[in-house]
Amino acid sequence: MVAQRESALNRPLSGLERRLLNDFQDGLPLSPAPFAEMAETLDVSEAAVLKALSGLQNQGLISRVGPVFRPNRVGASTLAAMGVPEGRLEEVAALVSAYEEVNHNYEREHELNLWFVATAPDRERLDQVLAEIERRTGIEVIDLPMVEDYFINLGFPLQWA
């Protein structure tokens, strides 16, 4: 799960929301009923887990809940970058994020200031998505496919103020 700042909320996160964000950054149960297993671990109902996750997603605090596969093990994936004029950054980022193939995007302080990861069932579809983003924005999309595989666990204990 990808979490943004708690301050984006107009209220403090509940204990359940905090546990979901902290305890399941990795190790999501691999089973036919992962949310039921999460609920059991947290001593709440599956409905409560689903409602809390849906609320976090609707508020934009998490983007998705699901597995992360090693690149190009299931389908095709790439890192891409764009040099977006400052005045268009939010517009272009929203357009990029609207593609179901885009996992996430982020701004960097560089002339290539918008970066994103895209995954598709195959390379042909991935190329179509990148070309469509380029066509719709009028901005070159630089495809940066993985050359060497490194694993970095991006999970970390969250600290609550």
Q: Which residues contact 121 (CB under 8 A, 6 or more apart)?
A: 75, 76
Residue 153 belongs to some domain of the structure: no
Calculate the average pLDDT of the chain.
85
Q: Is residue 24 classed as helix, strand or coil in its secondary structure? A: coil
Asked, for residue 152, whether it belongs to a domain, the answer is no
Answer with the residue of higher pLDDT: 61 or 1.
61
- Residue 7: per-residue pLDDT: 45
Please count the structural domains in the chain.
Answer: 2
Per the structure block, which two tokens stand in for 151? Answer: 């694993």
Q: How far apart are CA 110 and CA 5, in angstroms?
A: 23
Tokens standing for residue 90: 């939010």
Residue 150 covered by a domain: no
Asked if residue 63 belongs to a domain, the reply is no
- C-alpha separations of 23 from 20, 29, 37, 102 in Å: 6, 11, 13, 25
Based on the fold, state whether residues 80 and 140 are members of the same structural domain.
Answer: yes
User: Do 120 and 81 belong together in one domain?
Assistant: yes
Residue 95 pLDDT > 70 = yes
Is the pLDDT confidence value at 46 over 90?
yes
Could you report the per-residue pLDDT of 4-42, keeping only the tens digit for each?
A: 444 455 678 899 999 998 888 877 888 899 999 999 999
Q: Look up the domain containing 35 and give its range.
A: 6-58
Q: Is 97 helix (H, G, I), strand (E, B) or coil?
A: helix
Are both 51 and 97 inside the same structural domain? Answer: no
Summarize the confidence of residues 92-97 as an average pLDDT.
95
Domain for residue 151, yes or no?
no
- CB under 8 Å to 107, separation ≥6 — which residues? 89, 93, 113, 114, 115
Specify the CATH number for the domain of residue 115: 3.30.70.3460
Q: Has residue 130 been placed in a domain?
A: yes
What pLDDT does 4 receive? Answer: 41
**Whether 43 and 92 share a structural domain:** no
Query: Are 84 and 137 within one domain?
Result: yes
Residue of 9 and 99 predicted with greater confidence? 99
Q: Give the model confidence (pLDDT) of 109-131 as tens digits.
A: 999 999 999 999 999 999 999 99
